[in-house]
Amino acid sequence: MIKNFQRNIFRFLVLIFAQVLIFNNMEISGFINPYVYILFILLLPFETPPAVILIWGFALGFSIDIFTETIGMHTASTVFIAFLRPSILSIFAPREGYEKGTNPRISYYGLTWFIKYSFVLVLAHHIMLFYIEMFSIHDFFSTFLRVILSAIFTITLMTISQYFIFRK
Amino acid sequence: MRGLLRFIIRYHPIILFIILEVVAFIFVAHFNSFHRARILEIKHGIMGNIERKYEKYSSYFNLVKENKTLVEENVKLYNMMPTIYLNPLTTYIPDSLINKQYKFIPARVINNSTNKQYNFITINKGRLDGIEPEMGVICNQGIVGVVKETTDNFASVISVLNREFFPSAKIKRNGYFGPLEWPGKRYDQIILKEIPVQVDVHQGDTIITSGYSSIFPEGIMVGTVKDYDTEEGLYYDIRINLSTDFKKLSNVLVVKNFTRQEKLKLELKTSHD
């Protein structure tokens, strides 16, 4: 349990710095931004209580907000997917349920499962974030294009990171 | 209390979720100048709309007062018009007694009829307000009638829609005059008689009062020509669309003619022989 918590803190800090120092500077044609830090929410253990996920989400979003000077925007979207996560997990659960002692990752449940699971949450996060940023229904479709492209980019980076960095 | 809180957070994460989202949105609204400006803009848009609607409906409640001030304003302007002076002046002299021929007194119609052969109107001003018999009555659209009887507070007016009333009128374009006569049929039409057939009359010509009968000032609107025919061969019967709508008459002006007595006395003297 303690070990688990330490690992979470470590991952939390690594993802925040990676997001702030690397991914925030990756702007493809000023249009597509990856937001890989929500991988933290995706990778929390299955048995984490919903309320704890929400608090993690709030802390994570707020930390990112402090660095990007967009107080509240990442917080709102990250809390939103933290709330959605338990329901999404139960929707994509395998027939015999999640095994005890496993984590929601590719190494346990396969690439297809992970992409389905991450696609829903990343899309929800990006929709929330981009539309809060725009704060109007003006340019609805161009914003939606940004959402889709950024989501694809984010998921690609997350999947790659599963094979190389967060292997355990 | 703490147990209850723990229970709520553990088994109803949606409550914690709502609290955290509200906090996040308060942050958004509070710390981002763009979002704050946008929220203010939306708020002003909505409030502005509501206020405009409110203004639209609340203005109806002031209409009575508004009408009254407009009538007073109109009377003031009528009393400044150059045509009311004996020798029309080119400039306005702020002395109400110099040279003045007409004065207008505002009144309201309190009884009216249009469906009889001899129609009368009652107005809410009488002897105490300076109304006397034989004074003309007009309104903003045109002629109305002539005062017949007065009491202290009311006056009875012979309407133009009365078969015994023949005010004098003329064609504005060429000045030919004749008496008006109401045939007793339609409340919006009247006949102008005794215009010789050689006079050229067109549909739509403006008919105004002639000022000869010293009831109405010269130039008050009567109506426009609808059509004309020659019954006897010598004179036209010109049918006129009245400009005054007698069905909705409400604010009228009574015309006081300061020189009427003088004129009548002179005319009486010459017609004796």
Q: Which domains does chain A show, CATH number per domain? A: 2-164 (1.10.1760)
* Strand partners of residue B146: B136, B158
> For residues B44 and B37, what is the distance between their CA atoms, to the nearest angstrom?
10
Quick one: how far is CA A57 from the chain centroid?
Answer: 9
Give the pLDDT confidence score for residue A82 in this predicted structure: 93
Q: State whether residue B77 sits within 8 Å of chain A by CB.
A: no
Residue type, A36: V
Measure the CA–CA gap between B229 and B29, rounded to whole angstroms.
79
Taking only residues 7 to 36 of chain B, the set having a beta carbon closer than 8 angstroms to any beta carbon of chain A reads 9-10, 13-14, 16-17, 20-21, 23-32, 34-35
Instruction: Flag if B24 and A136 touch (Cβ within 8 Å).
Output: no
Q: Which CATH number fits domain B102-257: 2.40.10.340, 2.60.40.10, 3.40.190.290, 1.25.50.20?
A: 2.40.10.340
pLDDT tens-place string over residues B122-177? 998 889 988 998 899 998 888 999 998 898 888 999 999 988 888 999 999 888 99
Position with higher pLDDT, A75 vs B30:
A75
* Residue whose tokens read 């302007």: B77
Least confident of B17-21, B96-100, B116-120, B125-129: B96-100
Of the pLDDT bands very low, low, confident and very high (cuts 50, 70, 90), residue A79 is very high
Q: Does A66 touch chain B (CB under 8 A)?
A: no
Radius of gyration of chain A (CA): 15
Contact B27 A50 (CB under 8 A): no
Q: Which of A37, A11, A22 is nearest to A166 (CA)?
A: A11
Rounded Cα gap, residues A10 and B205, in angstroms: 97
More confident residue, B96 or A112: A112
Write out chain B residues lying below 8 Å of A72, CB-based: 24-32
The answer to whether A132 faces chain B, any CB pair under 8 Å, is: yes
Query: Touching check for A136 and chain B: CB below 8 Å?
Result: yes
pTM, entire model: 0.51
Q: How far apart are the first and last CA of chain A?
A: 16
* CA geometry: angle A118, A124, A126, nearest 5 deg: 95
Residue B40: both structure tokens together: 């203010």
Residue showing tokens 């309407």: B159
Q: Complex ipTM, two decimals?
A: 0.85
- A71 with B32: Cβ contact below 8 A: yes
Q: Using one digit for the tens of pLDDT, what is the confidence trace for A27-54? A: 777 678 889 999 999 998 888 888 889 9
Mean pLDDT in residue range B67-72: 84
Condensed to tens digits (0 to 9), the pLDDT of residues A95-111 reads 888 887 788 888 888 88
- Cβ atoms of B146 and B167 closer than 8 Å: yes
The residue type found at A145 is L
Do B20 and A136 lie within an 8 Å CB cutoff?
A: no
Which alpha helices (H) appear in chain A, and where do they start and end? 2-21, 39-43, 50-68, 73-91, 106-109, 111-134, 140-164
For residue B115, what is the DSSP state? Answer: S
Q: How far apart are CA B84 and CA B100, in angstroms?
A: 6
> Element (H or E) spanning B48, and its range?
helix B33-58
**d(C-alpha B191, C-alpha B202), whole Å:** 15
| CATH 2.40.10.340 domain position(s) in chain B | 102-257
